[in-house]
Chain A
């Protein structure tokens, strides 16, 4: 399976600021996925990031709040903009293994606390 390096692993941020989360994959992948897990809840897909095109956002998520970059086939960033305490969550990136379709690997997650 693909191996994902995600950072930072955690951060405490002031409201109104922005945080950029990075995911590096050890192999080239077509799509990368960004999820949010709010406290006590399930993982919710934020957006799908394709290299060379704009990310596709799920209902309830907008690019101004969660801008995504995908400069190449092994790297992506998610920015949480103008943060409020409601943005306190775990954010995870995920990829579909290029060698084994339907095998999804997740990063270790970024635990964000907004104060």
Chain B
């Protein structure tokens, strides 16, 4: 039972354009959402997060959007850069739970 899904296993985007990564979850009790980036042979690194009281959070080139009614979040990267090529995981949790449930990941490739 996959509670968090990233339906696109891979995505290719031209350098300078916008990358949009999507994530769907099934449990409306989740109230905190995170995005991680993972390079080969490294652990995931935190990118950006959003709590359920917001619908948008922005940090530089990265913006996360949350649509609670659709149980959907997305990560926008603009402009995309070659260094953004990595696997991106969304993760969900509850305040007070401390456990993260991860999505299946999307491999983003930025084409120079």
- Which residues of A approach B to under 8 Å, CB–CB? 1, 4, 6, 9, 31, 33, 41-45, 48, 92, 94, 96, 102-109, 111
> A-side binding surface: helix, strand, loop or mixed?
strand
Complex: A38 Cα to B34 Cα, angstroms? 21
Q: Could you list 4 further interchain pairs (A-B, Cβ under 8 angstroms) beyond the known A6-B43, A31-B98, A42-B103?
A: A1-B46, A43-B44, A92-B44, A102-B93
Complex: A68 Cα to B49 Cα, angstroms? 29
Number of A-B residue pairs with CB-CB distance less than 8 Å in the complex they form = 52
Complex: A4 Cα to B99 Cα, angstroms? 18
B43 with A102: CB separation less than 8 A: no
Given A42-B89, A42-B103, A43-B89, CB of A105 within 8 Å of CB of B46: yes
A111 with B44: CB separation less than 8 A: no
Residues of B2-45 contacting chain A, CB below 8 A:
4, 32, 34, 36, 41-45
B100 with A107: CB separation less than 8 A: no
Complex: A108 Cα to B40 Cα, angstroms? 10
Given A48-B98, A96-B98, CB of A42 within 8 Å of CB of B43: no
